[in-house]
A and B are shown apart, each in its own frame.
Chain A
Amino acid sequence: MVEKAARALGANVAEHAVHAVDQVTLTVARGEVVGLVGESGCGKSTLGRVACGLHAPTEGEVRFDGQPMSGPLRAIQMIFQDPFASLNPRMRVEEIVGEAPRVHGLISPSGQKGFVDDLLEKVGLYPAYRRRYPHQFSGGQRARIGIARALAVKPEFLVCDEAVAALDVSIQAQVLNLFMDLRDALGLTYLFISHDLGVVRHLAQRVVVMYLGRVIEIAPAAELFARPNHPYTQALLAEMPRLDRRRREFVAIKGEIPSPLAPPSGCHFHPRCPHAMERCSREAPALREISSGRLSACHLNGE
């Protein structure tokens, strides 16, 4: 904004374009749980928002059930990372959860109380708390309020953007179990965005790995963790802290994640890749099928 104003006033400020999401093609089948992983700046949150219709793509299109989307749909709901920042602190829980379905005509004003009570119970909260404000709840409870709110409009598809990242391990377990129970009970489809590989490994059937705006690997979860193909995926898994690791000496992966404003040429990962070849700095590898259901974007896979 400031830069726009500065340009309007005659300042010589260059326009920056960040390719937050760079040529991504992704399909999620009904009933699937897809994990979307990557580190800061990889574009996973942006992709999640585009999937929800909260962000219009600059190029390309998003389709839901075969129909192109032009904005947010009630059928796709998002659950956010910071359960405090995403709840209106001045609204009581009954309004936070009940407002949208009432406005959409899914429930009558007189039916709101019963509907909200049911939903609160479903997510493991006492209906008696319906008149409380967000600040009167713990982090785990606020996460549940966010889930209840998303479910209130009877969605088919949930995008969870780091939904359990801010929670303690024991609360995380409760909330993850809740996600799984709801999926079974309501037949939901999930796009689960997380930097926590342990969580994704547990929850997802298929995993998509992103790096600096591009999808670099897609595989069924068990296979991705057992036999990662892309060097970045391998590095990510090697760095994952694990309980069964006894007193290992840490091995550093070299370099820092480059700024999305100035990504490296060719394959974005080449400056940090232990197997980089000359070709990698010139030519971005295409995301190709390397075996059934597995795709990877790496020149090492030959062609």
Chain B
Amino acid sequence: MLEISGLVTEFGTRQGILRAVNDVSLQIKRGEILGLVGESGSGKSVLGYSIIGLVDSPGRITAGSIRFGGRELIGQSDEEMRQLRGKRIAMIFQDPMMTLNPVLSIETQMMETVFAHEAFSRQRARDLCLENLAKVGIATPEKRIKQYPHEFSGGMRQRVAIAIALLHRPELIIADEPTTALDVTVQGQILYEMQKLVRESGAALIWITHDLSVVAGFADRVAVMYAGRIVEQGSAADVLHAPMHPYTRGLLDSVPANNEGGGRLRQIPGMTPSLARLPQGCAFRERCSRADDVCLSMPPMERNVRCHHPLC
């Protein structure tokens, strides 16, 4: 339902052109949950913004294609994207206050979203809003809908943001680290509800996160990003339990839960390279124990992994 081919999103900076998304190809089917995993600077958020057409200058998509339901999204006019956004493709952000206007009541904001895409009667629109608030686990929605964002806790605000995202039953939802800033028990509730909602509606969900443990019980497939490229993708079980790329292996090894208590944590040496100073060839080369001269050339994506010396 979503097919990304060879996508390149560049940012023009004083240090030169930085490719935040560098030749990314990805597919996602209806009803599928894809975990898009990567650390800071990997390009995962920019990939999300590229799909929904929210990349701001100095960034722009310079190559590739994004086909949604058979229709090419790159090159669509602003008006055409605006029609799609919120209706067929929705986004949930890490900070719910990016979605919620602090000076408007929840009712005003939700109704506004409904009317942006449908000419419902006020009554019908209101019923839809209340129904969605209940769906995301907000008790007494008739009372809470009249309140303002500051009267909600962080977790509740995020639920409201999710309710807004779901109003028009989108076919694709992009969630950019929505639970990272929330407590573990609240995160657990929201993951539970998202999983339920996605199963029920058949929507596709791209869940962007740096936390591998979150995608473990949650995603069907996982794609790992490093320095703007996808370095590995596959079923969640495969990627998380039989990773092929040394970076994925390194990430999994550094999680405290995967290490003997009290001992030193296994760590990936060095740091993520700056996009302005990428090493020649494989971007992970300088940190990889398996690297050799062959790695001075960019490895192609082959059998779901981008590596000259995959693990297996």
User: A residues engaging B (CB < 8 A)?
Assistant: 39-40, 138-140, 168-174, 176-177, 180-181, 195, 197-199, 201-203, 221-222, 235-236, 238-253, 256-257, 259
Interface residues on B, range: 35 or more
* Structural contact, B256 and A241, CB atoms closer than 8 A: no
Given known contacts A243-B255, A256-B153, what 14 new A-B pairs fall within 8 Å (CB)? Answer: A170-B251, A170-B268, A197-B184, A198-B213, A201-B257, A202-B257, A203-B256, A221-B261, A236-B184, A241-B184, A241-B217, A242-B217, A243-B216, A249-B192
Min distance, Cβ A278 to any Cβ of chain B, angstroms:
23
Nearest-neighbor residue (CB-CB) of B156 within chain A: A256
A240 to B264, CA, bound (A): 22
Nearest-neighbor residue (CB-CB) of A39 within chain B: B183
A248 to B195, CA, bound (A): 10
Min distance, Cβ B287 to any Cβ of chain A, angstroms:
9
Which residues of A have CB within 8 Å of B265? 173, 176-177, 202
Interface string of B206-222 (1 = CB under 8 A from A): 00001111101110000
Which residues of A have CB within 8 Å of B257? 198, 201-202, 242-243
B40 adjacent to chain A (CB < 8 Å): yes
Min distance, Cβ A125 to any Cβ of chain B, angstroms:
12
* Structural contact, B184 and A39, CB atoms closer than 8 A: yes
Please judge, given known A-B contacts A40-B154, A250-B195, A256-B156, whether A241 and B213 are in contact too, CB under 8 Å: yes
Which residues of B have CB within 8 Å of A248? 217
User: B residues engaging A (CB < 8 A)?
Assistant: 39-40, 137, 153-156, 183-189, 191-193, 195, 210-214, 216-218, 236-237, 240, 250-252, 254-259, 261-262, 264-268, 271-272
A131 to B156, CA, bound (A): 44
* Structural contact, B264 and A202, CB atoms closer than 8 A: no
Nearest-neighbor residue (CB-CB) of B259 within chain A: A202
Which residues of A have CB within 8 Å of B153? 256-257, 259
Nearest-neighbor residue (CB-CB) of B182 within chain A: A40
5 contacts between A and B (CB under 8 A): A176-B265, A197-B184, A243-B258, A246-B237, A250-B192
Which residues of A have CB within 8 Å of B183? 39-40, 195, 257
Please judge, given known A-B contacts A168-B39, A168-B210, A170-B39, whether A246 and B216 are in contact too, CB under 8 Å: yes
A169 to B213, CA, bound (A): 11
* Structural contact, A247 and B217, CB atoms closer than 8 A: yes
Please judge, given known A-B contacts A176-B265, A199-B256, A253-B188, whether A243 and B251 are in contact too, CB under 8 Å: no
* Structural contact, A169 and B210, CB atoms closer than 8 A: yes
Nearest-neighbor residue (CB-CB) of B214 within chain A: A241
Which residues of B have CB within 8 Å of A235? 185
Which residues of A have CB within 8 Å of B258? 243
Please judge, given known A-B contacts A177-B267, A195-B184, A197-B184, whether A243 and B254 are in contact too, CB under 8 Å: no
* Candidates A173, A195, A238; contact of B267 at CB < 8 Å: A173
Which residues of B have CB within 8 Å of A177? 264-265, 267
Nearest-neighbor residue (CB-CB) of B266 within chain A: A173
Min distance, Cβ A36 to any Cβ of chain B, angstroms:
15
* Structural contact, B213 and A242, CB atoms closer than 8 A: yes
* Candidates A140, A203, A249; contact of B195 at CB < 8 Å: A249
Min distance, Cβ A197 to any Cβ of chain B, angstroms:
7
Which residues of B have CB within 8 Å of A249? 192, 195
Please judge, given known A-B contacts A139-B40, A246-B217, whether A239 and B210 are in contact too, CB under 8 Å: no
A205 to B156, CA, bound (A): 34
Min distance, Cβ A227 to any Cβ of chain B, angstroms:
15
* Structural contact, B210 and A201, CB atoms closer than 8 A: no
A238 to B258, CA, bound (A): 17
Interface centre among A176, A181, A243 (most CB of B within 10 A): A243
* Structural contact, A170 and B217, CB atoms closer than 8 A: no
A244 to B217, CA, bound (A): 8
Which residues of A have CB within 8 Å of B272? 168
* Structural contact, B154 and A243, CB atoms closer than 8 A: no
* Structural contact, B186 and A170, CB atoms closer than 8 A: no
* Structural contact, A198 and B217, CB atoms closer than 8 A: no
Nearest-neighbor residue (CB-CB) of B211 within chain A: A241
* Structural contact, B212 and A243, CB atoms closer than 8 A: yes
Identify the 5 closest CB pairs spanning chains A and B, nearest first. A250-B192, A173-B254, A241-B213, A239-B188, A202-B256
A172 to B266, CA, bound (A): 11
Which residues of A have CB within 8 Å of B210? 168-169
A247 to B254, CA, bound (A): 22
* Structural contact, A253 and B189, CB atoms closer than 8 A: yes
* Structural contact, A243 and B188, CB atoms closer than 8 A: no
Nearest-neighbor residue (CB-CB) of B189 within chain A: A252
Which residues of A have CB within 8 Å of B212? 169, 243
Min distance, Cβ B235 to any Cβ of chain A, angstroms:
10
Please judge, given known A-B contacts A243-B252, A243-B255, A246-B237, whether A256 and B186 are in contact too, CB under 8 Å: yes
A199 to B252, CA, bound (A): 14
